[in-house]
Chains A and B, each alone.
Chain A
Amino acid sequence: RKEVEQDPGPFNVPEGATVAFNCTYSNSASQSFFWYRQDCRKEPKLLMSVYSSGNEDGRFTAQLNRASQYISLLIRDSKLSDSATYLCVVNPGGGGANSKLTFGKGITLSVRP
């Protein structure tokens, strides 16, 4: 089983649509969780951290379920500018490497006019 697994893609949605991405992780001792965004041929950038209590940033809502080892990202009212690859990221922690990020494969979102 892969350490971080994401839904297969790509997603192609019209502007204004709501889209949800799901992700599971295998290491139950994982410490911190993130969603990163990566534009074509660019570096990944932090979109948001994910907490058990859930967190929202404008049109974006992230949720963590530790019992199910499941992470989600919801994007409401999709914009053309949301077109990118979304990477589910887990920091397993431990071993002194506090920045060892484990990335999922990524899912590509295309928002069409």
Chain B
Amino acid sequence: DAGVTQSPTHLIKTRGQHVTLRCSPISGHKSVSWYQQVLGQGPQFIFQYYEKEERGRGNFPDRFSARQFPNYSSELNVNALLLGDSALYLCASSLGGGLETEAFFGQGTRLTVV
């Protein structure tokens, strides 16, 4: 069975540019969450989408946006990239049925902003 897939795996962008990261959840999972992990830190929550609606937003600027499509895949968009946006971006999918539902993570997209 396919797990959570993210694309691209690595990306280098220049300050001020825009980036779109993509995530396909496990088949049957309706919830997708995005996390940012900078080196030496734990992942930090950015967004959660469930049934195509935003259900939660972390403490990130408006440059960060996301959406979920009818097939439950998701995109994370970041505008006006800053050097500090360099990080591993993780997507997690879950059935979304409850608080103890296990979240399965993709391998992440490693974004470098130069």
List A residues at the B interface (Cβ < 8 Å): 4, 31-32, 42-46, 49, 87, 89, 91, 93, 95-106
- Provide the residues of chain A in CB contact with B42, threshold 8 Å: 4, 87, 89, 103-106
Closest to A102 in B: B45
Bound state CA distance, A31 and B101, in angstroms? 12
- Tell me if B68 counts as interface (CB < 8 A to partner A): no
Chain B residues closer than 8 Å to A99, beta-carbon distance: 31, 33, 48, 50, 55-56, 92, 94, 96, 101, 103
C-alpha spacing A43/B99, complex, angstroms: 21
Which A residues touch B104, using CB under 8 A?
46
Contact check: which of B43, B56, B98, B99 meets A103 at CB < 8 Å?
Answer: B43
- B interface with A by C-beta (< 8 Å): 31, 33, 35, 40-45, 48, 50, 55-56, 58, 90, 92, 94, 96, 98-108
Which 10 pairs of residues, A with B, have the shortest CB-CB distance? A97-B56, A103-B42, A43-B105, A31-B99, A96-B55, A97-B48, A32-B99, A32-B100, A97-B55, A100-B56
In the bound complex, how far is the Cα of B100 from the Cα of A68, in angstroms? 21
Chain A residue, CB-CB nearest to B92: A99
When chains A and B are docked, how far (Å) is the Cα of A99 from the Cα of B58?
Answer: 12
Closest residue of chain B to A93 (Cβ to Cβ) is B99
Partner pick for B96 among A32, A42, A98, CB 8 A cutoff: A98
A102 to B42 Cα, complex, angstroms: 9
Task: Show 7 A/B contacts (Cβ-Cβ < 8 Å), sorted by A.
Answer: A44-B105, A49-B102, A89-B42, A98-B31, A99-B92, A99-B101, A105-B41
